[in-house]
Amino acid sequence: MIYVLLIIGVILLIWAVTTYNFFVGSKARIKAAVQEIGNQLKRQADLIPNLEESTKGYLSHEKGIFEMLTEARKAIAAAVDSGDVQKMSEAGTQLAQVLPSLRVAVESNPELKASEVVINLMDELRDTSDKIMYARRLVIDLTADFNVKRATVPSNIIANAFGFAELPGLITPQEGEHLEVSEQDLETPKVKLN
Amino acid sequence: MLNIYEAKAANQRRSFVIVFLFAVFVAAAIYILANAWGAYTGSPIDSLGIVGIALIVSGISSFASYYYSDKIILGISGARRATPQEDRLFTQVVENLCIGAGIPRPALYVIDDPSPNAFATGRDQNHAAICATSGLLAKLNRSELEGVFGHELTHIKNYDTRLMAVVAVMVGLIALLGDWFLRITWFGGRRNREEGEVGTIFLILGIVFAILSPFVGMLIQLAISRRREFMADAGSVEITRQPEDLISALKKISDDPTPMRNANKATAHLYIENPFKKTGHGKVGWFSGLFDTHPPVAERIKILKSML
């Protein structure tokens, strides 16, 4: 009898430890995922001066776009430094809203459209937008997992005992480039293989 | 109508049930064959020893393919490492999905083959590799590639290489035991045969199991493989949230008539779609379906459509 109780006790203990570790581990992973958003935003912001440099001569009449891009860059740098998820998210959205008009400007200029440097930079920007979207997705998923476990039986016992509060997660922007499908997305890519 | 979380949970439940059934079946087969062996030779110690030997033999043969699974694909002719310069889209897409899935980026390889297909392998997340054919990279667009690599990343995330390796060891173990048992009852001389009723029952059961269980084991192994494909499809949608892209990718891949030149039976279950194209079989009934590593594409698409 004593052995049965002992075994049940050990199983309960293992469960409690695993559940506790899930909550602590999730928090750490969410923190890392938020940092990843910051990293990618920075990467995106760093691409802009390059792009500006290589398109300046052609897009002098599009000054407005570059002003907006510079604004967005500053906002990103400030948000990443502050480490605040919501601010980062907002700064990212700000940039995502300017990018389509830049794309239009570039694509309507035949010389820029043919320039390999510009094509590569636009591609990098687009790719970074995707990376930000996925980094954001991870934060949302991890937060959802955390909050579901926190609220459901039996893991809520551990959450309440150790006072794990519900995490706010991200408020996803309702619009932005990451929600749009560009013409480029629909094209079949050509891969060079040698 | 299933949402992605319900689909995932339902898949996990079904997968658990089928793996559990497999474990029960393996245990039963070993128990009966060991007892039959004991009843035949009259020594229970022998029978335990023989299970141990069979486990070791079966284990060794599968261990290498499991432990070095990521290195072995290098040996598949034509596989080369993908580079960010040459295979920009491939590396970008996988990198992005890895951010979304929260796993380290696997090693990427390209096989020069016009047939569009891809597979994943590796014993854990840190020794994983994804291999795509040049045909796949050329014929699918970015969103479709996301669907395909989401599927492969889910195989990695779910430790499918590990699971299928364990299953293969177990199927091998039963096959060996059955084979050896049939050999000694056929050729071996009679020794102290236990003349009890129990002994006779075990002997008869033993012969039945020796003949049937390698076959049954293989069928369950394939059922597990098909279940993991459904799981990988659902996992892909969980990462990308775009079932329609995976649907159009699956259509493109299955409609392509070219079979893989370097298809490998050992890794067939990890491909996105069966690398051995079925040709000439207009009607594919449920019976021939039992022998497939992959569920029919039509059924996979039907399930994906329910997630739209």
> For residue A49, what pLDDT is reported?
81
Task: Give the model's pLDDT for residue B194.
Answer: 53
B155 and B85 share one domain: yes
Q: Is the same domain home to B134 and B152?
A: yes
Domain boundary among B182, B198, B221: B221
User: Could you tell me if B270 and B153 lie in one domain?
Assistant: yes
Could you tell me the pLDDT band of residue A14, with boundaries at 50, 70 and 90? very high
| B63 plus B107 within the same structural domain | no
Residues from chain A that touch B241, judged by Cβ atoms under 8 A, are 137
Here the CATH number for the domain that contains residue B265 is: 3.30.2010.10
For B19-59, the DSSP string reads HHHHHHHHHHHHHHHHHHHHHHHS-HHHHHHHHHHHHHHHH
Number of structural domains found in chain B: 2
Residues of B in contact with A184 (CB under 8 A): 142
Say yes or no for a CB contact (<8 Å) between B102 and A138. yes
Pairwise CB contact (< 8 Å): A188 & B139: yes
Residue of A nearest to B113 (CA): A193
Q: If you average pLDDT over every residue of chain A, what do you get?
A: 79
Q: Is B110 left (phi over 0), alpha (psi -120 to 50) or beta?
A: beta
The CA–CA distances, whole Å, from A153 to A10, A15, A96, A147, A159 equal: 20, 13, 40, 12, 10
Digit-coded pLDDT (tens) for B202-226: 888 888 888 888 888 888 888 888 8
Indicate yes or no: CB of B110 within 8 angstroms of CB of A137. Answer: no
Comparison of pLDDT for B99 and A65, the residue scoring more: B99
Q: What percent of chain A has pLDDT over 70?
A: 87
With an 8 Å Cβ cutoff, are A185 and B97 in contact?
A: no
Measured between beta carbons, the chain A residues lying within 8 angstroms of B138 are: 188-191, 193
Alpha helices of B68-159 — where are they, by DSSP H?
69-75, 88-101, 134-139, 142-157
B13 touches chain A (CB under 8 A): no
What count of other Cβ atoms lies within 10 Å of the Cβ of residue B249? 28
- Residue B214: which domain range? 4-69+164-221
As a whole number, the mean pLDDT across chain B is 81
The DSSP H or E segment spanning A110 is helix A110-114
> For B95, which residue in chain A has the nearest alpha carbon?
A131
Examine the domain organization and report whether B187 and B146 are in the same domain. no
Using the Cβ of B6 and the Cβ atoms of chain A, whether some distance falls under 8 Å is answered with: no
Q: Are B209 and B34 in contact (CB under 8 A)?
A: no
Chain A neighbors of B97, CB-CB under 8 A: 134
Q: Do B141 and A189 touch (CB under 8 A)?
A: yes
ipTM for the complex shown: 0.71
Question: pLDDT tens digit string along A87-136?
Answer: 777 777 777 787 788 778 878 888 777 777 888 888 888 888 888 888 88
Percent above pLDDT 70 for chain B: 83
Residue B110, beta-bridge partner list: B80, B132
Q: Where among B221, B240, B258 does a domain terminate?
A: B221
Of A13-22, A88-97, B9-18, least confident by mean pLDDT is: A88-97
Given a cut of 50, whether residue A175 has pLDDT beyond it is no
**pLDDT score for B279:** 46
Based on the number of CB atoms within 10 Å of its own CB, is A17 exposed (0-12), middle (13-18) or buried (19 or more)? exposed
Chain A CB contacts of B95 under 8 Å are 131
Q: Measure in Å the smallest separation between the Cα of B10 and chain A Cα atoms.
A: 17
Q: Which residue of B has its CA nearest to A120?
A: B88
Where does the pLDDT of residue B187 fall: very low under 50, low under 70, confident under 90, or very high at 90 and above? Answer: low
Q: Is there a single domain that holds both residue B9 and residue B156?
A: no
What is the C-alpha separation between B157 and B138, in angstroms, rounded? Answer: 26
Report the chain B residue with the minimal C-alpha distance to residue A134.
Answer: B100
Q: What is the mean pLDDT of residues B283-302?
A: 74
Continuous segment of H or E residues that includes residue B131: strand B129-133
Residues of A with CB under 8 A from a CB of B: 29, 33, 36, 40, 123, 127, 130-131, 133-135, 137-138, 141-142, 181, 184-194
Q: How far apart are CA B161 and CA B166, in angstroms?
A: 9
Contact yes or no for B4/B241 (Cβ under 8 A):
yes
- Of chain A, the percentage scoring pLDDT greater than 90 comes to 12
Question: Based on the domain organization, do B143 and B204 belong to the same domain?
Answer: no
The reply to whether B233 and B94 lie within a common domain is yes
Q: What was the pLDDT predicted at B267?
A: 61
B74 in the same domain as B173 = no
Q: Tell if the CB–CB gap between A191 and B141 is shorter than 8 Å.
A: no
Q: Using DSSP, state whether A185 is helix, strand or coil.
A: helix
Known catalytic residues of B are 152
Report the residue from B89, B100, B102 with minimal CB separation from A191.
B89
B271 DSSP 8-state letter: B
Choose one of B178, B202, B221: the last residue of a domain: B221
pLDDT at A5: 93
Q: Number of A to B CB contacts under 8 A, please give it.
A: 60
| Distance from C-alpha of B149 to C-alpha of B138, rounded to nearest angstrom | 14
Same domain, B144 and B17: no
Residue B270 pLDDT exceeds 70: no
**What is the reported pTM?**
0.79
Distance from CA of A63 to the nearest CA of B (A): 31
Sorted by where each starts, the structural domains of chain A and their CATH numbers stand as 2-172 (1.20.1440.20)
Is B241:A136 a contact under the CB 8 Å cutoff?
no
Residues from chain A that touch B101, judged by Cβ atoms under 8 A, are: 138
- Domain shared by B147 and B177, yes or no: no
**Residue B92 forms contact with A (CB below 8 Å):** yes
- Residue A169 vs residue A8, higher pLDDT: A8
Residues B18 and B11: their CA atoms lie apart, in Å, by: 11
Residue B148: predicted pLDDT: 95
- Chain-centre distance of CA A141, in angstroms? 12
B246 and B156 inside one domain: yes
Q: How confident is the model at residue B200, as a pLDDT?
A: 80
Q: List the single residue in A with minimal CA-CA distance to B139.
A: A188
Q: Are the beta carbons of B99 and A29 separated by less than 8 Å?
A: no
